[in-house]
Structure 1
C-alpha cells in the first residue's frame, strides 16, 4: 500500500468524544431536513422510515466501514479499501464517484444554512449570496488549520445541537396535543408512492458513515473510529425521532411541515420564548455549517489520495509544511463551492444521493471481498458474526440503492447515468496521462501493452456500461408507468421535460449497451482478467 504518511500529512491526537462529534456532525448535526419528509410520506410512515432506514442503509455501511477502517486504516478510507481489495480501476471509480458527489454535497449545507438566515431575516438574493460566501471563507480557513481544529469545532457545535433538540423535545412533549403518527400516509397516496417520496431524504439524512474513516491516517489512534461509529449512530437515530415526535405531538399540522413551513423552530417559538427561539435559530444555522466544515475536510482528501497514486494531477498532493494540511484540495472545495452555491437544495441532493449509491456499493463490495478472500488480516475491530451473515447484511444497501434509483425519479436516474459513466472515461484519460499505480509499483500494477491500461480495464468498463444498459431498459418502461409528467412540467417549468428525460435515457441506454457489449467481447479475448 502506498504510504501516505510520506506525502506530508501529520497525525493528531484526537479523543473519542471529538471523533463521535465529527461523525455526528458529518452524518446528522440535528434533525433538519426531516421537516420536508413529514408531509411527503405522512407522520406515521415517517417515524417508521426513520427507524428502518438506519437498519437497512446506515448500519450495514457503518459495520463495513468499521471493519475496513480497522483493517486498512489509510488516508482515503473507502478509496483505499476498494483499491486494495478490488484493484486500481474500481478504486478510482469509488474515489471519483464519491469525491465528485462530495463536492456537491459539501455546498448543500451552505445553501441550507443561508436559506435559514434568509428566511429569518428576509434577506435579498444578493445578501443571501454574501452570507454563503462568508460561510465558505470562514470554514475554509478553519480547515486549513488542520484536522484537530476541525474535530474541536465540530464537537462544540454537536453539543449545542444536542442541547437545542433536547429542549425542543421537552417542550414538545410537555404540550402534547396531537397524535404524532396519524395519519400513517397522506390520503389518496399509495404506500409505494409515499416511500418513494421519502426514501431519498432518509438516505441523505443517514449518509456520511464513512467520512471520518477517510481521515484515519491523520489520527494517532484510528482504531477508535469503529467505537465512535457504534456510539454515534444510536445518538443520530434518537436525535431524529425524539424531537420529530415531540414536534408533531405539540404543534401538529403535519401537512404544513417543511423547511419553509412548520418545523422544530415553531416549537421553539411557540413554547420556548424569544430567547430560546433565537438560540434554536442560531443552532439551525450552526448545524449546517458544521456539516459543511466537516465535509470540506473529508472531500478535500478524496482527490488528494488519488493524486498520490498518480490518478489525479500532482498539484493536489501539495501540503502545508507546518500543519500537514492538503491545502490545494481544501482550496479546490472552496472554489467549487463559490461556483455551485447558487444551485438549489434539490439539485444538489439529486446529484449527491445518486453518486453516493454507487460509491457506497463499491465500499460494501470491498468489505465482502476482504472477508471472503482474506486479503487483509482483521484489525482491532471485527463484527462477531459468521461470514455468511456479514455478507447477507452488507448486501442490503445494494437492494435499497436500486429501489431508490427508480423511486427517486427520472431526473435522479438520468443524472446518475451521466455521473457514473464519467468515472470510466476519466480513468482511461488519467491513467494514460499520469500512469496511475503502475508508476509506483509496476510489478504489482502491470500494464497491458495492447491497451496501455491495467489488465482487465476494458472488460470492467464494458461491465459498467452493460449494467447501466440493463437498468436503463427497466427505467424506460418503469418511469412512464410510475411517474406523472405533470409534476415534472410544474417543477422544471417545461411541459415536455419528462419526455425529454425519457428520450435521453433511451439514447444513453442504447449507446451504453452497444459499446458495453463490444468492450466486454473484446476484453474477454484481448484483455482477460477478474472483474473484481
Structure 2
C-alpha cells in the first residue's frame, strides 16, 4: 500500500480504499482532488469534489426543512402550544443526535454510498443493502411531497390546482422539470439551493416583522387535549426534523469532508430550528385557530398582515422551498444509487454518469418513484415514508454504537466527544421516538402503511439474494470485489507529531510506509455472513 499513501493530494482525513476495490485504481483515496475530470467517481484519479461549505449547508437545510412549509398540519393536529413545544424539544431529542452521528460517520466514510457504507462496515453487506434500499424508498417517497406542497401553496392564486386534470398535469410536469435540473449537475443544484435559501429567508423575515404588532401572546397557550391527533402530530413533527443523514450520500462530492461536514451540520441545525420556530411563532401569534391551518396557510397569514404583495412573495418563497427540497432529495437519492453501484451492491450500469457528472439511472429511478406517489395527500405520504425511515435509522444507530465498540481506533476526522455509554444515553430518546413512530400504524390499524413497510422489508430480503445469484451466474455485470474498507492504521504517528487536523505528518500528512503496509487487507466478499471490513493490523 505504499504507493497509495503517497498519492494523497487533498483531504488528509479521508480513509483509504483497499487496492482490491475497483475504485482504488490510480488514486487509492476516496475523493482525490487532482485533475480536471469532474465526472469521475469518488476515488478515481481526476475526480473533483464540487461541494463547498455554503452549498452543503443549504443542501442540508433543504434535505431537512426548506422553511416552515409543512408545519401547518402539526398546528391543525395539536394546536399552537404543542407545536411550539415540539419545535423546542424535538431538535434536542432527535435532530442534534442524528446530526452528530452524520458528522462523525460521513467524515469517516466520505463517499457516495453514505450510510450504506456505515452499516456494511458494522454488520456486513446484507444489512448494508437493506439500509440502502429502505433509505432510498423513504427518500423517494419524501420527494413526492414537494410537487404536492407546491400545488397546495399555489392554490391561493390558482384554485384549479386543487383537483382534477390541471393538478395531475402540474404534478407530472413539475416533477419532470425538477428532475431535469438535477440531471444538469451538482453545480447547478448548489446554485439553485443557495438562491432558494435567500428567497425564503427574506419574505419570512418581513412576515415576522409585520406580525409583531398583531401578536396576541394568549394564542400560544391554546391546546385542546381531548382533540389532539397524536399520530398526525408526531408524524409531521418527525418528518419536519429528520433526514440529517441524507447528505452523507453526497460525501464523495464534498471538498475537504473532514472539516466541511461538521461545520455545515452545525450551521444547518441552527438555520433549520430558526426557520421553523420564528415564522411559526409569528403566524400563530396572529391566527391561532387550529382549524384554519391547512397546507399553504402561511400565504393566508401574509395576506392578512401585509396584503396581496406579501402573500405573493410567500408563494414565491414556497415555490423556491419546494424546488430546493426536491433538488436536494433527488441528489441524495440518485447519488446513493450511483454509490451503491460503484460499491458492487447494484449492477454496474446503475452507476453510469451523464456528461454533467450526474447519475443517469439514479435520477431516472428516483423520478419514476416520485411520479407514482405524487397523487397522494400530504399526510398519507408522510406516514408512509416515516415508517420505513424509522427502520433505516434504527439500523444506523446500531451500526454507530457497534463501530465505536468494535473499531475504536478507526480514523474519525470528527468524533462526538462522548464515551460509548454517553452515546447510548444520547440515542435512547431518539430511539424511543423511532419505535413510537414505527408502532403507530400498527396501533391505528393503518393497513396501507403496514403493507408498505412490510413490502419494503420483504423486497430487501428477496432482492439481495437475487442480485447475488445474478452476480454469480453472470446475468448482470457488477463492480468486481464488492465493499472494501481499510481504515485501520492509516495515521501512524511519526516523530514529527500530529498535524493541524489532529492526525500526523508523514507523506502528505499521512504516515510513512511501514512493513505493515505490505500486509494484504481483509477483503469483504459479497454475500459473506461474517464480515470484518475495517480490519488490518495497525502499524506499530
TM-score under structure 1 length normalisation: 0.78
Q: Tell me which of 263, 269, 273 is aligned to 1:237.
A: 273
Match for residue 429 of structure 2? Answer: 396
Q: Give per-residue Cα distances to partners, 1:246-291, cap 9 Å, x unaligned.
A: 111112323321216xx32122101112222111111112211211
**Deviation of 1:91 (Å):** 0.5
Find the aligned partners of 2:156 and 2:119 in 1 and give their Cα distance.
43
1:47 correspondence with 2:81: no
Find the aligned partners of 1:242 and 1:298 in 2 and give their Cα distance.
28
Q: 1:299 to 1:4 in 2, by over 3 A?
A: farther
Match for residue 29 of structure 1? Answer: 66
Residues 302 and 310, structure 2, Cα contact 8 Å, conserved in 1: yes
Match for residue 248 of structure 2? Answer: 213
Q: Tell me which of 516, 519, 524 is aligned to 1:445.
A: 524
Find the aligned partners of 2:357 and 2:23 in 1 and give their Cα distance.
12
Find the aligned partners of 1:101 and 1:177 in 2 and give their Cα distance.
39
**Deviation of 1:360 (Å):** 1.3
> Does the residue aligned with 1:181 lie in a helix, a strand or coil?
helix
1:348 correspondence with 2:384: no
Q: Tell me which of 327, 342, 357 is aligned to 1:308.
A: 342
TM-score under structure 2 length normalisation: 0.77
Q: Which runs of 5+ in 1 are unaligned?
A: 448-452, 458-532
Match for residue 163 of structure 1? Answer: 202
Residues 124 and 530, structure 2, Cα contact 8 Å, conserved in 1: no
Match for residue 80 of structure 1? Answer: 117
Q: Tell me which of 429, 434, 445 is aligned to 1:410.
A: 445
Match for residue 8 of structure 1? Answer: 40
**Deviation of 1:119 (Å):** 4.6
22-31 or 400-409: bigger deviation: 400-409
Residues 25 and 287, structure 1, Cα contact 8 Å, conserved in 2: yes
Q: Tell me which of 251, 261, 264 is aligned to 1:228.
A: 264
**Deviation of 1:414 (Å):** 4.3
How many residues align structurally?
Answer: 445
Match for residue 515 of structure 1? Answer: none
Find the aligned partners of 2:276 and 2:427 in 1 and give their Cα distance.
24
**RMSD of aligned C-alpha atoms?**
2.4
Match for residue 109 of structure 1? Answer: 146
**Deviation of 1:194 (Å):** 4.6
Q: Give per-residue Cα distances to partners, 1:183-220, cap 9 Å, x unaligned.
A: 2x32524xxx6543311101100121012221010122
Give 1 or 2: higher helix fraction.
1
Q: 1:315 to 1:362 in 2, by over 3 A?
A: same
Find the aligned partners of 2:154 and 2:214 in 1 and give their Cα distance.
28
> Does the residue aligned with 2:76 lie in a helix, a strand or coil?
helix
1:73-472 paired onto structure 2 within 5 Å:
73-123=110-160, 125-183=164-222, 185-189=223-227, 194-223=229-258, 224-259=260-295, 263-320=297-354, 322-374=355-407, 377-408=410-441, 409-411=444-446, 412-435=449-472, 439-440=481-482, 444-446=523-525, 453-455=527-529
Q: 1:227 to 1:276 in 2, by over 3 A?
A: same
Residues 405 and 413, structure 1, Cα contact 8 Å, conserved in 2: no
1:63 correspondence with 2:95: no
Q: 1:117 to 1:194 in 2, by over 3 A?
A: closer
> Does the residue aligned with 1:8 lie in a helix, a strand or coil?
coil
Find the aligned partners of 1:121 and 1:25 in 2 and give their Cα distance.
25
**Deviation of 1:340 (Å):** 2.9
